[in-house]
Structure 1
Amino acid sequence: MLLLLISSIGWTKEATPVAEDPEIEKRMLALTMDLRCLVCQNEPISDSRAEFSNDIRREIREQIKANKTDDEIIQFLVDRYGDFILYNPPMKPTTLLLWFGPIVLFLIGLGSLVFYLKRRRIQVEEISLSQAQREKAEALLKEDNKGKDV
């Protein structure tokens, strides 16, 4: 009884009902897999339970019923919310850093590592001992070995 009362008030988050036409639902799901939820940001609209995603799915269903193509629907969403809604934004001047930034950062890191290792190799060069230092080290080692034999 309490569950019926709660669900009638609308406090529970129930899954939205599937569209009457399974073809519309299938097409809507295919479209929303490549669209980012602007509330969740790391979740596709197809998987998100945010109100924003519910609204977008509803809008997409309406546009599908209005015989809009997939490209027209995506363009509508990009015009409304910007390229950020796309998981694969187009290559244009404003997204060049997004596309090539990781490669540039990797090359900078690799160059820094090579520079550091070359500099370290020069600092760690083997230091040769003079004859007197070598004899003193051998004498210390012999003393140490005598102490262990006893």
Structure 2
Amino acid sequence: MKRIALILFTFAAISTSSFAQATKEAVKIYNPSANAQADIDAAVAKAKKEGKHVFIQVGGNWCSWCIAFHNLVADTPELKTVLNDNYETVLVNYSKENKNEAVLAKLNYPGRFGFPVFLILDGDGKLLHTQNSAYLEEGKGHSVKKVTEFLKNWNVAALKPEHNK
């Protein structure tokens, strides 16, 4: 009898776990059907007008580190402020549905650094920097301090000669 109860309990636990996973909605911050080049062009135009740079995050909904970074920014007001005050942000999808190969080729194949990978463009659309996001990690995730320093070191003001005197 105990054996049957144990089998039924195990079956119920597995069924409940599977059902919970099936009903959990997948996070979708990247849009595979988006026109990445049009999104970048719009961000570049807006950045130029507002005296900012463009921050591009390349990744996919399949990438747990990409989602974790997105959540870190959303959940950290000071990081979100630094990003929003200094950059126009674009999420560029890389997935089976759309690898955005032509766009990423123009950006010197940033996927070679893994995902997410971050790119900084100026207000003319010139690629200024490609950042392997692994260098911004600490412990089991991205470091707020390292990400903030990175963003501050690549904003418009930081690249002006008078800032570096």
Q: Hey, which of these two has a bigger chunk of strand by percent? A: 2
Q: Hey, which of these two has a bigger chunk of helix by percent? A: 1
Higher relative contact order (CA 8 A, sep 6+): 2
- Bin of the TM-score, shorter chain as denominator length: under 0.3
TM-score relative to the length of structure 1:
0.26
Higher Rg: 1
